[in-house]
Amino acid sequence: MLKQMKALTGTENEGLTRNILVGFLEAFLMGIPFVVVYLVIKEMFLPQPNLNFIWVCCGSMLVLFTLRIVVARYVMVHSQIFGYDAGINIRQNLAGKLKKVPMGYLLKTDPGALNATMLQDVTFTEQIFSHLFSQLVVTISLVALVAIGLTFE
């Protein structure tokens, strides 16, 4: 996928790796509170539950939720910035290639097809990287973390 993104934009896409890593951190922060809830429920069914442990778990969940708000905001803002920058780079790359096309080809080609490619197709690609990509990373990471957690229980 990184090769295709590099071919489309014509740049190295340094922000993509950062977005993937921060998305994984967001998924981790999303999944850990469920593990803590599991531990609290498991503790409550013991004959003598440890209330200090339960309160520590509740406090840690509050801290994790607060941290997740900060990380989720960061992920959302930077994935939007990355997506729109990628859209700009794709448009500039396509415009550079259109400059090299002979004028006779442009006269024969339907202007609506070029317009659709420059506007709609690039906008769709831009939306994939600004809206869907971060959620895809979070979802895949969360499923992987749950699978790993279930194998060790």
pLDDT in tens, the chain (153 residues): 567 666 666 666 667 777 778 888 888 888 888 888 988 999 999 999 999 999 999 999 999 999 989 988 888 888 888 888 878 888 888 888 778 878 787 778 777 777 777 777 778 777 777 777 777 888 888 888 888 877 876
Backbone torsions φ then ψ of 102, nearest 5 degrees: -60, 150
Residue tagged 């003598």 (tokens): 48
The closest of 85, 94, 69 to 129, measured between CA atoms, is 85
